[in-house]
Amino acid sequence: MPSTFPMRRLFLKCSLGLWISEACAKTITTQSGSKWQLSPQLVAQGASKKYRVKVGELQQAYLLDTDVQLTERLQRIMAKLANQAAIDYRGSGHWQWEIHSSDQHDESSYSMAGGKIMISKPQVNALALNETELAMLIAHEMAHSLLLHNFAEDQEALRLFPAWLNQDFEEFETAIDDDDTLVTALAALGKQQEFEADLGGMELALKAGYPAKNLMTFFEKLKKRSAYPNFESRSHPAPAERLQRLRDWFQQQAQKNNLHQ
């Protein structure tokens, strides 16, 4: 695990607190005549609009929340994790967290800025996730939001391609997901963010009272289910590496505890 990882996570936690308290709303310095300035608030507002559209499309196609029991589980687990997040990430307590399940087979679970989460029902079924494993999946997605990953991704995109500031923000946000040049340029950052969400989600779930052993089985299932567990995809690190990094982290925590005894 890179030595800079804990410091970056701490910085992102601090960024969230500053954003919520409006002590220093971070923006991108724009070119003269640019149409907008990037800020966490703008990213969250844009995400909320996209999420509403996605929810509407899935609902119209009868692919949204088709399993009542699963929906109840998702909401119950998220409420528990959100209570802990309000303690660990001051200011997120007023977020309007929202979670749904999707039957769409060509998309895995994902999150959007500001606490909007979509869980893939096919993924949950394929991995046969129990309560704690499902909590790990949800906590991982929540960590993406809590660590302001979408904002950081947009920042990096504008650093590399500042001309996007002269386009509409909605066009820029669409390009982040669909433009091959942007997707390729941001791939390394995205994979690093997956590691951060793994650890951030693990810490959140542990503090919320879920047992470590069962949380780890989620990542063991990811590795076992993968056809190529030792190879990374375009958007995600190798499942085997994700599992090993968390094992290393637990070992480091155990060593620290022994030193303090």
pLDDT band at 258 (very low <50, low <70, confident <90, very high): confident
User: If you average pLDDT over every residue of the chain, what do you get?
Assistant: 88
> What are 105-143's pLDDT values in tens digits?
999 999 999 999 999 999 999 999 999 999 999 999 999
Angle subtended by helix axes 187-207 and 68-88, to nearest 10: 90
Look at residue 20 in the predicted model and tell me its pLDDT.
44
* pLDDT at 35 exceeding the cut of 80: no
User: pTM of whole model > 0.85?
Assistant: yes
